[in-house]
């Protein structure tokens, strides 16, 4: 597609996306299916452009409103500001007047603007981050604006991390071991993973390093019965299964068949034989109740606002509202309550979210512990050390707390809970 046409396609995509009635990746996928003629480079430019706009939406809207000299719809001006092709495609896509307008606006001193505008946050979220993170708020807000790296988890059923790094070195793909996860590899750039043998053969899976640490905290053992209570597409399920060396029984529960369907090809690549996907209607499903008191370990990666993943999903900050978070906290408390009934005495539960808001994290856990004296909190740093991971700097007030500005991961929270061996 000609760069000029690509620019107007980006305008049209933004028109759809900025209604915020569907996830940004779903809107892009729909476009790519409708336009199979788009090449790999065109798709990359479109994706990078619209995601750049979503990250900086409030700033770009503010800048574009100050100078309407080039005219056109707001979505077109946003696409011009967010254009992410190379210099050659930029000059092919934009007129000289548009190039000068873009250069002039992007050169403005954003420090003169209010912080929430500068960091493109809705007012309610800016206030929440400032209230909860204080002096760290500016660094966190800036980190959430940066694109996330590509993290992989090495499948220990099939390969060692050193072998995977050697493969990437031979392919001239810059990669390094992640600093915290014992299985993590961080790749530079955006290689086509589906074309790589190490991916097709199940040596690696895409998974943020922070997400990998949830499996470290649960620490399932060979032969145990384990439940991934909110399995989704199964990234953490596969990590747990590999830790169990494909022994025991690992149930992957989720309320969405379509999410569990995405687990099937990943499961086939992984080589695991101990995973049992189970679609449930809700957290109180009879299939959940039948396992009450029988399970050794439970992972609850609870549905949440996703506000720790803004580097990957910048549309989440515009799609979520305070009332949505309030509704989610009710659901999170209910899910934790139901998942906890599965545990044997002495069993371990990890409650986790990819949110940076305490009301979805420690607030849920503290309320649960107050109401359930038969459970206790286990210091996350002690668990990490037992698993060979140095927990210093990863743990706040006993729980895992990862932030992109501190750890170069998504924002993650996890608390380790244990059912007391005997009820008190």
pLDDT score at 392: 78
The answer on pLDDT for 95 being more than 60 is yes
Per the annotation, the verdict on 304 as an active-site residue is no
Give the CA dihedral 419, 422, 423, 424, nearest 10 degrees: -110
pLDDT score at 285: 87
Beta-sheet pairing, 204-206 with 150-154: antiparallel
- Cα end-to-end span (Å), the chain: 68
pLDDT score at 390: 83
The Cα 291–Cα 349 span in angstroms is 14
Q: What is the mean pLDDT of the chain?
A: 94
The answer on pLDDT for 424 being more than 60 is no
Rounded to 10°, the helix 40-55/74-82 angle is: 110
Superfamily of chain region 209-419: Vaccinia Virus protein VP39 (3.40.50.150)
Would you mind telling me the total number of residues written for the chain in this entry?
A: 424
Here the tokens at position 305 are 């606002």
Closest among 78, 92, 87, 105 to 13, alpha carbons compared = 78
* DSSP secondary structure of 363-382: HHHHHHHHH-TTEEEE-HHH
The Cα 358–Cα 380 span in angstroms is 17
Give the CA dihedral 194, 200, 204, 208, nearest 10 degrees: 30
Angle at 374 between CA 370 and CA 377, to 5 degrees: 65
Who contacts 391 (Cβ-Cβ below 8 Å, separation ≥6)?
A: 380, 381, 382, 383, 384, 385
pLDDT score at 307: 97
Q: In the chain, pLDDT over 90 holds for what percent of residues?
A: 87
Here the tokens at position 205 are 């899976």
Q: Say which residue, 191 or 380, is predicted with more confidence.
A: 380
Q: CB neighbours (10 Å) of residue 298?
A: 28
The answer on pLDDT for 318 being more than 60 is yes
Rg (CA), the chain: 23
pLDDT score at 201: 95
The 3-state DSSP class for residue 225 equals strand
Give the position of tokens 């619209």.
50
The answer on pLDDT for 365 being more than 50 is yes
Mean per-residue pLDDT, 265-273: 94
Q: Say which residue, 295 or 68, is predicted with more confidence.
A: 295
Where residue 283 falls among pLDDT bands split at 50, 70, 90?
Answer: confident
Angle at 32 between CA 31 and CA 37, to 5 degrees: 120
Active-site residue identified among 105, 244, 354, 395: 354
The answer on pLDDT for 239 being more than 90 is yes
The 3-state DSSP class for residue 153 equals strand
Task: Supply the DSSP symbol for 151.
Answer: E
- Output the pTM of the full model: 0.94
pLDDT score at 80: 96
Q: In the chain, pLDDT over 70 holds for what percent of residues?
A: 100
Distance between alpha carbon 121 and the CA centroid of its chain, in Å? 18
The answer on pLDDT for 131 being more than 80 is yes
For the chain, domain boundaries: 3-113, 155-198, 209-419
Distance between alpha carbon 37 and the CA centroid of its chain, in Å? 30
Mean per-residue pLDDT, 92-100: 93
């Amino acid at each position: 597609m000609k760069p000029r046409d690509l620019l107007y396609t980006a305008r049209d995509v933004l028109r759809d996306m900025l209604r915020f009635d569907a996830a940004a990746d779903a809107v892009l996928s729909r476009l790519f299916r409708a336009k199979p003629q788009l090449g790999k480079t065109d798709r990359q430019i479109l994706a990078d452009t619209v995601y750049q706009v979503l990250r900086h939406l409030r700033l770009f809207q503010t800048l574009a409103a100050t100078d309407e000299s080039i005219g056109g719809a707001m979505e077109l001006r946003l696409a011009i500001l967010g254009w992410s092709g190379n210099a050659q495609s930029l000059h092919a896509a934009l007129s000289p007047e548009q190039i000068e307008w873009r250069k002039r606006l992007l050169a403005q001193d954003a420090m003169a603007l209010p912080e929430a505008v500068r960091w493109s946050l809705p007012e309610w979220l800016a206030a929440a981050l400032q209230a909860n993170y204080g002096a760290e708020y500016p660094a966190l807000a800036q980190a959430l604006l940066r694109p996330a790296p590509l993290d992989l988890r090495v499948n220990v059923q099939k390969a060692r991390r050193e072998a995977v790094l050697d493969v990437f070195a031979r392919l001239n793909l810059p990669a390094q071991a992640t600093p915290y996860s014992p299985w993590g590899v961080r790749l530079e750039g955006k290689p086509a993973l589906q074309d790589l043998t190490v991916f097709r053969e199940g040596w690696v899976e895409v998974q943020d390093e922070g997400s990998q640490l949830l499996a470290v905290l649960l620490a399932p053992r060979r032969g145990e019965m384990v439940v991934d209570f909110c399995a989704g597409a199964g990234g953490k399920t596969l990590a747990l299964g590999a830790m169990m060396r494909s022994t025991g029984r690992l149930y992957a529960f989720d309320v969405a068949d379509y999410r569990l369907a995405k687990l099937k090809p990943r499961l086939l690549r992984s080589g695991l034989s101990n995973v049992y996907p189970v679609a449930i209607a809700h957290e109180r499903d009879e299939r959940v109740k039948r396992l009450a008191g029988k399970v050794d370990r439970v992972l609850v990666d609870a549905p949440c606002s996703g506000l720790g993943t803004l580097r990957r999903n910048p549309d989440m900050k515009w799609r979520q509202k305070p009332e949505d978070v309030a509704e989610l906290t009710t659901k999170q408390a209910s899910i934790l309550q139901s998942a906890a009934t599965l545990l044997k005495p002495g069993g371990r539960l990890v409650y986790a979210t990819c949110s940076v808001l305490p009301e979805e994290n420690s607030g849920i856990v503290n309320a649960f512990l107050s109401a359930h004296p038969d459970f206790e909190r286990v210091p996350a740093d002690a668990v990490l050390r037992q698993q060979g991971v140095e927990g210093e700097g990863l743990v706040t007030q006993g729980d895992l707390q990862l932030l992109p500005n501190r750890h170069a991961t998504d924002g993650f929270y996890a608390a380790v809970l244990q059912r007391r061996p005997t009820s008190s």
